[in-house]
Each structure stands twice: as C-alpha cells, then as structure tokens.
Amino acid sequence: MDIKNNILETIGNTPMVRINRLFKNESFKVLAKVEYFNPGNSAKDRMAVKMVEVAEQEGKLILGGTIIEGTSGNTGMGLALAAVVKGYKCIFTTTDKQSKEKIDILKAVGAEVIVCPTNVEPDDPRSYYSVARRLAKEIPNSIYFNQYDNLANRLAHYETTGPEIWQQTGGKITHLVVATGTGGTITGTAKFLKEKNPDIQVWAMDPYGSLLTKYFRTGEVDMNEVHPYITEGIGEDFVPQNYEMQYVDEFEQVSDKDAALMARRLAKEEGLFCGYSAGTAFQGVVQLKHKLKPDDLVVVILHDHGSRYVGKIYNDQWMMERGFLAAKTFRDLVNSRDKKKVITISSDKSVGDALELMKKYNIENLPVIDNNEVKGSLSESGLFNLILKKDADFKDQLINEIMQKPNPILSIDSTIEMITKHINKENGAVLAYDEAGELHIVTKYDILQALSNG
C-alpha cells in the first residue's frame, strides 16, 4: 500500500518538465519546476509547513493556537492546510491588490482573511504587515510568522527544493531562475545548489516597482524605485531578511505586461497553466538569453497555478483594460474602456444642452436619439463650426435644426479595420447595437487608444 497519512505529506517532489516550444530556436535547454503540483497549488506549501514545524519545535505554537500571517494567498494556503491537519486557527491579512479568487480559496480552507490597502508604507498602521503584528499582540496563544524575516522560509527550500532540482537534473543544472518576493525560494534553493556547484548562475526576476533590483545592484534601499505594479506575489518595498544576495548573480526587471503575456503563452504553447509570476520568470529568461551558452540547462521555478488568475491575466477584458492586449473588435473597444454607456440627446433639446452634456461627460460625439431611433449626430467640430458662424443665439437653437447626419451603425463584431473605414473628418464615431438591443459608441479617440496599446 502507498498511502499518505495526511495531505501535508504530498508536499514537494514536484515534477521537472521540459519546455518544448517557447525556446525551440535556441540551443540551450529550459526546464520548469512545476510547483503547482503541491497540494495548495504553490511552492509556498513547502515553507508554510516548515514555519509551523519550527514554531512547534521552539514551543511557540501549541495545539489550538492561532497562526497569523500577512500573505498574498499562497503562503496562506499552505498555512491553512497545515492548520487544518494539525489543529490550529488561521487569520491572514492581505492587500486589496490580490485576486478575489485567492481570498475566497483561503476562506474555503477555514481561514479568516482581513483585506488591507496596498498603497501604504509597510510601517503604516493600516498596512497588512502592521495589522498582522497588532493582531498577534492582541490575540492570546497566537504567533505571527512573518514569512519575510522568518528564516524557516528559506530553510524549507534549502532542504527540499534545492535537493530535488539537483537530483532531477542529475547535477547538470547551469542556471536557476526565480521570480522573487520574500527571497525564501531563491536564497534557500540557490544556497543548496551553489554548495553543490558554485558555478551555477542564479537569476532573480523582479517586477518594475520593486526596489530589490536596485538594492542588489547598488546596496541602496531606494524608495524612489517603489511604485504600484500589478504582478502578484513578487517584488518588495523593503529587503526581507530571507535574502542573502551573495547567492544571486543577476537581478532583472520584467514589466507587468510582458509577464502577463508570457504566462498566457506558457498555458497555450506548453500546457502549463501557471500563475503571473511564472510569466515574470520566463520573460526574464527571454530578456537575458544572450547570456546563455549552447549547452546550458536552465531551471525556472513555476511558483503557482493559473486558476487563481482566471479573472485577471487569463481574462481578455482585464488584459485589454490595462493595455496588455490590443482590442480587436467594436465590442472589445467598448469593453476595454472605463466609460461603457453611450450618452445621447433628443432632437428637441438645445445646443446649449448638448454643450453642457459634452462638458459634463468630457465627450466629443453625441448621437441624437428620438423614440429609441438614431436621428442624427452632434460632434464637437460641428458645433464649433456653428460658433464660427458667429450666430449670437446659437445656444438656443434646437438640435433638430442643426444636427448632422447619423453616425454609421455597424455590427458589434466589426473589426477595427472595418470601423476605421467609417471614421473621417466629417464623422468621428460609429455606433452598434449589442444582443440586448443596447446602443454603443466607438470614437476616433477609442481607436487611437487601442492602436497605441497594440
């Protein structure tokens, strides 16, 4: 019989999978250490259980106690699984940047989750670090793990991830690539591998908006580097104690957009339905590939599973709203902008009313609608011509006296190429009805926006 005593015993020994298509024109080889095979679907199961075990050994966690942690979800999942199996309660603090799916998953495994603001300093009392610390003081028999500075984090990877990679590659690994946050994965894994072979190169991948890359290069903790970014689970606005930069050879920054697009390619081209940070790690390999030699064997850690990002990087509309994917049709253009509802006016209103609406909503085109029927159009340039005629009481003129031709009505599935054929000096917008009979507008400005994102 081959039976695990509990789910925690299934952590680790994750597969190493060859990347076949992404780098098919290169002579170096790339492998993915697929950490979403862990029961909590991420690499963080390893360190979560290790932090619990060390706390138990040190007598800091006793049966019925409460585990408190600031977590973007993955560490929380590992801790929650350990808590269920071992009989603890869990309270997690997290930020409002995290996907809703991640938070719901934590609740599903019995944790209480407190969502805190992202854009505050770590020592602000509202930050998820501060709230976790305060709760640990207030709640009796509780422990705040602090994955950033808790060295059991990197120890877990030193004891498990490093040896697995060494054994799975038969000691042939030449490069380790890790998207990095607390620093636990990269430091622990790299320390083990470099002890085996000091020539192994270790590359850390960081999002723009994190200060870690500059810190690595200059030793300076520069808060000017810090700005909001979208990629989850990686990058920091301080330097956690789990880092030992001596084990890292390169730090490279990857944009939110490139990381998201790369994660999607991993799913579509390799069947690896992975999380956002895996996109960062693989995009980093693309950016640094000029440093690789023909026989190099690159191992990239693929931290977590794509299911936690279905509402984000795997959602076309989310991608378009951020300019990460180009809109392709009328429908995409409408979905990808903030203002979705078309503003219209009826023909018995005055030019003054129209100008007021245009100013209020900051729009240049106003379809004229009577009884649900498109009767004409008003455009900023058309109204401006009226003003040029120096008609003193132009504001009181009725719209049905001065309106222009209706904007063309197209199919909602028209492509951008089809739409642009109808946009010219005389006509700055096109209209379409959706399946529910609702009218939508696309303007010259929407097209320019979409093309500049492409």
Ligand X SMILES: Cc1ncc(COP(=O)(O)O)c(C=O)c1O
424 burial class (0-12, 13-18, 19+ CB within 10 angstroms)? Answer: exposed
d(CA 257, CA 10): 34
CB of 178 to ligand X, least distance (A): 7
Q: Is 304 helix (H, G, I), strand (E, B) or coil?
A: strand
Q: How far apart are the first and last CA of the chain?
A: 56
Interacting residues with ligand X between 144 and 173 (CB under 6 A): none
d(CA 22, CA 30): 9
One-letter amino acid at 97 equals K
- Catalytic: which of 29, 33, 44, 257? 44
Single residue of 146, 185, 379, 414 touching ligand X by CB under 6 A: 185
The answer to whether 84 and 194 have CB atoms below 8 angstroms apart is: no
Interacting residues with ligand X between 205 and 244 (CB under 6 A): 233-234
Residue of 243, 245, 280 whose CA lies nearest to 265? 280
Does residue 72 touch ligand X according to CB under 6 A? yes
Q: What are the strands, taking DSSP E only, across 264-358?
A: 297-302
Does residue 70 touch ligand X according to CB under 6 A? no
**Segment (H or E) for 354:** helix 351-361
CB of 45 to ligand X, least distance (A): 11
Does residue 181 touch ligand X according to CB under 6 A? yes
| Length in residues, the chain | 454
Single residue of 98, 161, 210, 277 touching ligand X by CB under 6 A: 277
Interacting residues with ligand X between 22 and 51 (CB under 6 A): 42, 44
Q: Which is nearer to ligand X, 35 or 270 (CB)?
A: 35
CB of 291 to ligand X, least distance (A): 22
Residue of 274, 196, 209 whose CA lies nearest to 235? 209
Q: Which is nearer to ligand X, 302 or 319 (CB)?
A: 302
Single residue of 252, 304, 332, 446 touching ligand X by CB under 6 A: 304
Choose the binding region for ligand X from 7-15, 183-191, 264-272, 360-368 (rule: CB under 6 A).
183-191
Active site residue 44: yes
Q: Is 180 helix (H, G, I), strand (E, B) or coil?
A: coil
Interacting residues with ligand X between 373 and 432 (CB under 6 A): none
CB of 438 to ligand X, least distance (A): 38
Residues binding ligand X: what is the number (CB under 6 A)?
Answer: 19
d(CA 53, CA 240): 21
Residues noted as catalytic: 44
Residues of this chain that interact with ligand X (CB under 6 A) are 42, 44, 72, 74-75, 179-186, 233-234, 275, 277, 303-304
